[in-house]
Structure 1
């Protein structure tokens, strides 16, 4: 709810610039903060607000909105933690990124000054360079909490697992919403990256050669591995190799209750065998996430089978 003491923070989605600098600074002042995505519709202002802070970028639509509502806006601020306003410093950067900096930052410099915007920056170097603007330097603060390490839920599919990726999407959506301690790790191509980009705490790794994948599995940190398998002629020929992959990763596995896995997995002994029902997988993931003792016991039984 926008109130007279609210500051609107306009940003291009969640980003480190806001997390390290702007958000902790404003929270430290006890500011009532409302966050708005840069490309969301700008809100109607029925009451004055304490200020508007643009984090790194702004658009012509927001410029028009500010001009229309300037009398109801207290502070107007532009924050940058790179030299966004000098095109000479962008030489050597990729063309698309240079164009983005011009489109969303550099071309608005004169407008910002004309509107009486304050400049907030991240370093004394930037403050010195733009000293004529009397910038304020914000000190970085850690955005990391002491909530404990994340538990990694992973599915390492390939191009032949498109149907399984589709099937897993609502499963991941639910567990990520219900358990903030879980992150998702996938292996997939650009289409998979795009498909899962809207999910929080989800990381998509590029497909890799077999030796690199073996090294990946040897790194610690994975908790629950998934091996769904939908009925198809192609899947009928699968082998149970994911059992070995998941166990090598130090994780307990949830496997489709399919002939491929029945010969290897004993339910609740060295893994879970589940029907391909999404809610059953959601429930099992959440239960395993809560019980380290259960995970450890099943993993040890799986390791005994693979050693």
Structure 2
């Protein structure tokens, strides 16, 4: 079965720019259009802050079902964020001659997700419909391809087509007020926030969390899970009075929840595998917003912006239990780890340029 998965993985289309490059390697644009399944984390992590730096340049954001007919395509640069539907694709094809360029941005190894055994079939079918099937037509329009990591660029690269890296650019962590209510008297709140795509990580954590909860009577646990995963968590025999299982939220609801409901400990396991190898470290942003002390898997993804004081451990049950014990029992260590991840967001901002690769934006004539 794995051999068949590998064959299909190689056969699925990859993004590749077919548009003629500019002689100086840079395109001039006068306005920006972002097509996105809006709102979503990819837009928030990678595009939103960069778009805010463009000053007087008009920035238009459209959801996948929004019509584009009223948009002036002259000098327009278009960013396709992961997905596109047929009506918008047809509009781009019709306006191709007037566009300044088209970029495709992706932050997941979508062929690996489609051919892997973790994601649900409804999610895979959505990827096929919105990201895989349109790609041959999208490729004929593309002048740029951007990915979130070097590893993902390597996985998706084909021949000599250039792929630029667009690392995450979070909002300034200094703008977030620190919650100082960790006085050790209230229950210690531990969370694992991940979608069903991380099925293996859920399964890895189940016995670890059960053991930690049995050991620490003051520990409360919250996990995002639905369907079979939620049922499996419920069958772990963990005290239901201290456990909350929440169905995954929409992106706006998740932002609101994690902004106003903080945690003490956030679990961030990442097991080895083709899909995970291409991921970026955006989980840091969520954990910083939660104002939690993180436990990270020791891996290349989380090493990128690591800060002294964080906990990075191997993927063994003993190491994870020991890390949870440490943070539950040592408030000072917990606060130190929390502050370290907050500082890692500052490092993430320093590592990311606020520009879009290969584009020079110039105001419309007479602007200002």
Length-normalised TM-score, structure 1: 0.50
Rg (Cα) greater in structure = 1
Length-normalised TM-score, structure 2: 0.42
Taking CA–CA contacts closer than 8 Å with sequence separation of 6 or more, which of the two structures ends up with the larger relative contact order?
2
